[in-house]
Amino acid sequence: MSRVALVTGGSRGIGRAIALRLASDGHVVAVNYAANSAAADDVVEEIVAAGGTAIAVQADVGDTDAVSAMFETVEDRLGKVEVLVNNAGITRDDLLMRMGPEAWDEVIETNLRSVYLCSRAAMRGMLRSRWGRIISVSSISGISGNPGQANYAASKAGIIGFSKSIAREIGSRNITVNVVAPGFIETDMTEGLGTEIADEVASRAALGRLGRPEEIAAAVGYLASDDAAYVTGQTLVVDGGLAL
C-alpha cells in the first residue's frame, strides 16, 4: 500500500538510501534536507526517473518553526505524513573534557529535539488516520557507548527511550514506533574517520565488514511495511554483529 513518507536528512548517506528504498516500495516520499539542495534534488530525480513520486523539502529539523513549515508544505503537496523516518543526524566528536557546550547542544538539537518535534507534528495526522509508522535512526553508539561521542551517544540513546514511551502512548491507535540502530556504515559521516579505524571496526564485526546504507534502509523498509504491523517499541540493531 502506498503511503506518504517523510525522511529527515534524506539527501545523503543512510537517509538517501532510506528515501530510495521507501520509494521503490511504492511510497510517496518527501526528502528533507538541511543545506544540500543539490543532493536532495538528485534523490528526487532518481525516484522520479524510476517512476516514483517525491519532493525535496528544506528545514532545519531542530527548529520548531521550520518543522511546522515543513509539515505544512508536505501535507499541502503530498498529504498527511503516514510514515515518518527520523534520520537527520550530525556528529561533533570530541573527548568530553574538550567538548564545549555548543558541540553538546548542536548534536542534541539536530539528533534528538528533531525527533520530538517531527514525531509530534506527524502524530496529529496519524491519530486521525488511525495508522502510522514512526521509525527513528539511532546508533550502536547509543547502546554500547563510544569514546569521543558522549553527545552523539546521548542523543541516540535518548531516541530509544523516547520511542519506547511514545510506542506505549499511541499503540492503541495503530501507530507503531520503532528504532533502527546501525553499526558502522560506509557514509560521508564515517569516511572522515580514516581507513585504519574502518578496518579495525570491520574486523570486530562478526560479518567482518562495514555495512552499506541500503542494509539500514532495508530494515526501515521492513518496519514501514504491513509485515511489521505487530512490532513496536523495538530497536533493531543492524551492525553486522559488532556489538554482541
Partner 1 sequence: MNDNQEAEPMDRTEIESKLTDLLVDELGIERDDITQEAKFEEDLDVDSLGVVELLMALEDNFGVKIPDEEAEQITTVGEAVDLVEAKLNG
**Cβ proximity of 148 and 190 under 8 Å:** no
CB of residue 127 to partner 1, shortest distance in Å: 6
CB of 127 or CB of 154, closer to partner 1: 127
CB of 172 or CB of 195, closer to partner 1: 172
Amino acid code (one letter) for 12: R
Instruction: Determine, following the binding rule CB under 8 A, whether residue 170 of this chain makes contact with partner 1.
Output: yes
Contacts of 77 (CB under 8 A, 6+ apart): 30, 55
Q: Give phi and psi for 138, each to the nearest 5.
A: -100, -140
Helices (H) and strands (E) in the chain, counts: 10, 7
Single out the residue of 45, 65, 72, 169 in contact with partner 1 (rule: CB under 8 A).
169
Number of residues that bind partner 1 (CB under 8 A): 7
Provide DSSP, 13-40. HHHHHHHHHHHHTT-EEEEEESS-HHHH
Is 152 a known active-site residue? Answer: yes
What Cα–Cα distance (Å) separates residue 76 from each residue in 70, 82, 220, 221?
Answer: 10, 14, 25, 24
Instruction: Determine, following the binding rule CB under 8 A, whether residue 164 of this chain makes contact with partner 1.
Output: no
Contacts of 198 (CB under 8 A, 6+ apart): 184, 186, 190, 210
Single out the residue of 77, 124, 192, 197 in contact with partner 1 (rule: CB under 8 A).
124
Q: Per-residue x/- mask for partner 1, residues 178 to 217, rule CB under 8 A?
A: ----------------------------------------
Select from 25-33, 39-47, 86-94, 165-173 the region that touches partner 1 (CB under 8 A): 165-173
CB of 169 or CB of 191, closer to partner 1: 169
Catalytic residue list = 152
Binding residues (CB under 8 A) for partner 1: these are: 124, 127-128, 169-170, 172-173
